[in-house]
Structures are given as structure tokens and as C-alpha cells.
Amino acid sequence: MKLVKSSSSILRKFLLFNFFVFLFLGSLTFFYLSGIQPNLVKQRMEKHTIIINNTSNHLERLSIEFSKESLKNFLLSTRFLFQNLERVQFYNITGDLIADTNVLDLDQSVFTKTEVVMEEEIKDNDAKKLSDENTLKNNFNTGTNVNNLKEIISNKKNDEPTVLEVQEGDNLFIKTLGDANIGGKVVGYILVTEQTNEILTAVEERKNFIIRTVLAIAIVILIFLIFLNRYILKPIGGLVAYTESIKAKDESMGKIEKFLNRSDELGLLSRSLNNMTKDLQYRTQKAENSSADLAHEIRNPLASLKGASELLDNTTDKMERTKLIKLLSHDVERIERLITDYSQMLKDEASLSREKMKVLDINNLLKNVIDEFNNTNAVMEKNIKFVINRKNLNGNSLQLFGIENRLEQVLANLLDNAVSFSPKNSTIVIDVNGSKEIISLKIKDLGPGFNEINTEKIFKRFYSNRPEKFGEHSGLGLNIVKSIVEMHGGKVRAINRLDADTGAEVELQLPKRG
């Protein structure tokens, strides 16, 4: 259920965001569309107002009387003034029509007499159409399709034109009523009528453009939603299910194998999460095994302590008691060493992931570690010598990327083991070899060597086959060496020396600086 809530929550937020965006844009579009037609009508009204003012100026300049006969002659002589208009009407001060361009024939050729009389049968459909057109024209001419003109005139404000929008079928007419002002006096009114279907066309075009744009945006958003859900949200849901399965320790709950081969960021995230999970599982398993191994290792000295303490309580012989006390001290030392080394190992493993690597030279590392060992009591008491042989370098550098103190710890552990098992007055040989890709170090001693046929087991935790050194070695040293070397991308192996009668040889292989 958590997965569904997480995925659907993103979708809901995205859809809600787009809804409010569309609502906002829709509001702006509504106001925009609502303002188109009024703005265009206003432009026509301003044009009509100019015509009305110009007509009034002509009447005043030509001293035309505002009467039927005078206006008729005026219209006949100035027909060019109104040729682009549908109709111009003149009303007296009381609102009576006294002149109208529709009742004048501005083209006198229509009165030419013809001798030919043509008869044509009018079909029913044509008759109905003609009847409808005549009705429309009559209605338009008489003004029955608008409010009563006299009432409009009576309510008209001085010096302000009145605009009427008349929708007749598919046609839009703009009517502008203005004052006929002659000599500074309103002598009547002029009504200019113009068919303005282009306004309807302009509004319709803008409306269709916006609808097409909205549909295109909606399709794009839908495609993006499908892409978002399929290629992003579902994979994220799969990753969430995978993490939940890790938490619940139920691998059937989520799998991410199908995302690992993706080349995008989700593929990178999936691989990173998969590697991190494997590393976490490895560390968890390693910690569990280490805890079990530590408990097992402590159990032996504890059993010895118990047995020795019981014998000590029942023994009166002084020599026997001294022997038992020494055994008790030995077991306590063993337990202390196990706990100390184990705690240090856990701290080292935790700090390894936080420390940064840098360019190191293996010669400097060896010199630093050997200089420290030359001043230790064990080396001075046994008179141990260290010899470094550099072979087959062929000009190859001995630089690598690593954590300085960790690699010094590796060398110190290996040299410590070699010194511990080397006889007095012996030599520990360190062979250094370098190729184009690998740096090899072989640490050879003259000790008893390994009894194990499979020397890989000496790198296991708490492993030790040196009973005489029981209290001095916890069995963690070589295991720590292996962990640090592998963390640097290298390998470590151990064998009995082939170039001497006795002795052990431990080889480190570390990748060179790229």
C-alpha cells in the first residue's frame, strides 16, 4: 500500500498542478475571448462616429436643411461618402425617420427603361427563401429587431454615441446612433449600420486557435504523463518495493533486475542501490560470522579458565598452583587480545569506507615500516635483517592509489608475522616487482612455514596454527591484511618458500596508479 500511495501521490500532485494551470489559463482565455468582440465593436463605433461627425460637418458647410427633401438630394449628391456602409438613416429630433440610403438608388442606371419583360416561375423553396430574405430586410429596415428607436433616443446621453449589436442569423450588424450637430445645435440623429461578419470570423478564428492549442497541450501532457508513469514512477515504485523487501527480508516483494541494464539515471540508481545492498548484506553477514567466531574463540579460553580455577581451588601443591596461575594468566591474556583486536578490526573496517585514497610510492611505504621495525625489541633481540630486492622494474614506477596508514598496517602485520616465526640471526627478504599494471611484494622468512595444504585458510578470522604463540596472536592479523588488500583492488596469497629449505612466503599484488 505504501508503494501505491507514493506513486499515486506524485501523479495526483502533477495532475492537480496542471489542473490549476489550466484553470488559470482558462480564466485568462475566457477574459481574452470576452474582450475581443467588444474591442472590435468599439473600433467600428469609433469609425462610425467619425462618419457621423463628417456628415454633420458636410450638412453644416453646405447649408443643408435637416428635412426629407434636402437630405434626399444630399444623399444623391454625396453617395460616395456611404459606399462602404450597409445603411445610413437620418432621424429628426423626435425620432421619426426622414431619410434612408436604403430607399434611394444611388446608381441611377437602375432606372433605365427596358422593353424586355421576363417571366420566371418561382419554385417553392426559392419563394420561401425570398420571403425569408424580404422579412429579414423589412425587419432590419423598420428596426423591429432592436429596441424601440424613440425610446433609445430619449434615453441617449448628450454627445455620446449609442452602439447596438444586432445578430440576424449568421450576420452581425453594428449600429451606431449619433447626434446630427449643426451650428452647435442637435437637429436630429444619424444611425450608421454596417454588416461586420468579419468580427464573428475573427472571434471564431481566435477561439478555434485557442481550442486547438489547448488540445495540443493536453495531448502533450497526456503523453508526458504516460511516459512519467511508465518510465519514472513505476521504476521508482519498483525500487521502493525492493528496499521494502530488503527490510522485510522477503526477496519476492521486489526485484530490480529489469532496471539494471538501463543506461539512464534510474539505471545508475538501480545499480548503485543493488551494489549498496549487496555490500550491506556482505557486511551484515560478515559481522554475524565475526560475532559467532569471536564467541567460539572466547569459549575455549573461558573453558580453560573454568577448569584451571576449579583445580586451583582444590590444589595445595605450590608448583602445581604456580602452573595453574600461569595458565589462568595466559587465558586472560588471550581473551583480552581477542577482544582488543576484534574491536580494533571493527573500527578499521568502519573507517575504511570514510578515508580517501591518494597517490603513494611503495618504496616510501616499505622504508617507513622497516625503519620502525628496526627499532623494535623483537627485531633487535633476534638480530633480524631486512633485505629489499627490486627486480624487473624496467623503468616502471611503483606508484598506486591507496590509503597510506592502511597499507602500512598491511606491511606491518606481515613483517610482524615474519619476525615472530623467524629464527635468530636470520634475514627477511622483500622482493619488489613492477609491471605495467601490477606491483608485487613478496615477503619471505626462514621460519617453519605452513603445515596447511590449503594455505587460504590462514586468512580466515581467528585462525592460528601456532600454539606456542597462542597469547600473542589473535588470528585476526592476516584476515585484516586480506580485507585491506581487497579493498584496494589487490590480492594476497601465502605459500611455503620454494627457494629455501624452510620458510613462508606471502605475496601482495596491488594495482598500479592508472
- In this predicted model, what pLDDT tens digit does every residue of 138-172 receive, in sequence order? 443 434 344 467 777 777 766 788 888 888 888 88
What proportion of the chain, given as a percentage, has pLDDT over 70? Answer: 82
The predicted model gives 443-467 an average pLDDT of 77
Q: In this structure, how many other beta carbons lie within 10 angstroms of the beta carbon of residue 178?
A: 25
Average pLDDT over residues 80-105: 80
pLDDT in tens, 315-370: 778 888 888 888 888 778 778 877 877 777 777 666 666 777 889 988 889 999 99
Mean pLDDT of 248-268: 74
Residues 431 and 510 in one domain: yes
Share of the chain above pLDDT 90, in %: 9
At residue 441, the pLDDT reads 92
Q: Are 510 and 365 found together in one domain?
A: yes
Predicted local distance difference test score (pLDDT) of residue 444: 93
Closest Cα to residue 482, out of 505, 464, 465, 507?
Answer: 507
The answer, yes or no, to whether residue 136 has pLDDT greater than 50, is no
pLDDT at position 126 is 47
- Averaged pLDDT, 96-112: 63
The CATH number of the domain holding residue 390 is: 3.30.565.10
- Mean pLDDT, range 461-473, rounded to an integer: 53
**pLDDT tops 70 at residue 38:** yes
d(CA 363, CA 377): 24
Residues 180 and 146 in one domain: yes
Q: Which of 335, 354, 373 is the last residue of a domain?
A: 354
Domain CATH code at residue 284 = 1.10.287.130
Q: Grid coordinates representing 442?
A: 613478496
**Residue 448 lies inside a defined structural domain of this protein:** yes
- Mark whether 200 and 59 lie in a shared domain: yes
Query: 1-22, pLDDT tens digit by residue?
Result: 344 444 457 777 888 888 888 8
Q: What is the per-residue pLDDT for 429?
A: 93
Expressed as residue numbers, the domain containing 8 is 2-106+127-204
Residues 6+ apart with CB under 8 A from 197: 170, 171, 172
Q: What is the mean pLDDT of residues 423-443?
A: 89
Please tell me the predicted confidence (pLDDT) of residue 141: 42
State whether residue 381 is helix, strand or coil.
helix
Per-chain mean pLDDT for the chain? 78
**Count of CA atoms in the C-beta half-sphere (13 A) of 68:** 4
Q: Quick one: cell of 481?
A: 591484511
Contact 91, 188 (CB under 8 A): yes
What pLDDT, on the 0 to 100 scale, is given for residue 248? 75
| Of 320, 337, 354, the domain-final residue | 354
pLDDT of residue 256: 75
Which CATH number characterizes residue 46's domain?
3.30.450
Confidence class of residue 394 from pLDDT cuts 50, 70 and 90?
Answer: low
**Position 474 pLDDT exceeds 90:** no
* 425 inside domain: yes
Tens of pLDDT, residue by residue over 217-227, are 889 888 888 88
Q: Are residues 382 and 326 in the same domain?
A: no
Please report the beta strands in 47-142, taking only residues with DSSP state E, as ranges in sequence order: 87-92, 97-100
What is the dihedral angle through the alpha carbons of 479, 481, 487, 493, rounded to the nearest 10 degrees?
-90
Q: Does 226 map to a domain?
A: no
Do 385 and 499 fall into the same domain? yes
Consecutive H or E run containing 395? none
For residue 134, what pLDDT is reported?
43
Residue 219 covered by a domain: no
Residue at 99 is within a domain: yes
Assign 294 a pLDDT band (cuts: 50, 70, 90). Answer: confident
Spatial separation of the C-alpha atoms in residues 88 and 95, rounded to whole Å: 14
Q: Which pTM value belongs to this model?
A: 0.47
Residue 189 CB partners (closer than 8 Å, separation 6+): 90, 91, 93, 95, 153, 156, 177, 178, 179, 180
63/183 same-domain check = yes
The verdict on 311 and 321 lying in the same domain is yes
Check if the beta carbon of residue 393 is closer than 8 Å to that of residue 351.
Answer: no
Q: Report the domain count for the chain.
A: 3
Same domain, 28 and 139: yes
Q: Which distant-in-sequence residues (6+ apart) come within 8 Å of 405 by Cβ? A: none
The answer to whether residue 119 scores a pLDDT higher than 60 is: no
Asked, for residue 250, whether it belongs to a domain, the answer is no
Distance of alpha carbon 237 from alpha carbon 233, whole angstroms? 6
Residues 369-379: pLDDT tens digits? 999 888 888 88
**One domain for residues 333 and 366:** no
- Considering the domain boundaries, does residue 284 fall inside one? yes
489 and 471 belong to one structural domain = yes
Q: What is the pLDDT of residue 80?
A: 67
Within a domain: 239: no
* pLDDT value of residue 428: 93
Over residues 165-195, the pLDDT tens digits come to 888 888 888 899 988 888 888 889 999 988 8
Domain-ending residue, one of 204, 233, 266 = 204
Residue 475: pLDDT band by 50, 70, 90 thresholds?
low
Same domain? 486 vs 403 = yes
Alpha-carbon 48 to chain mean position: 58
Averaged pLDDT for residues 280-298: 75
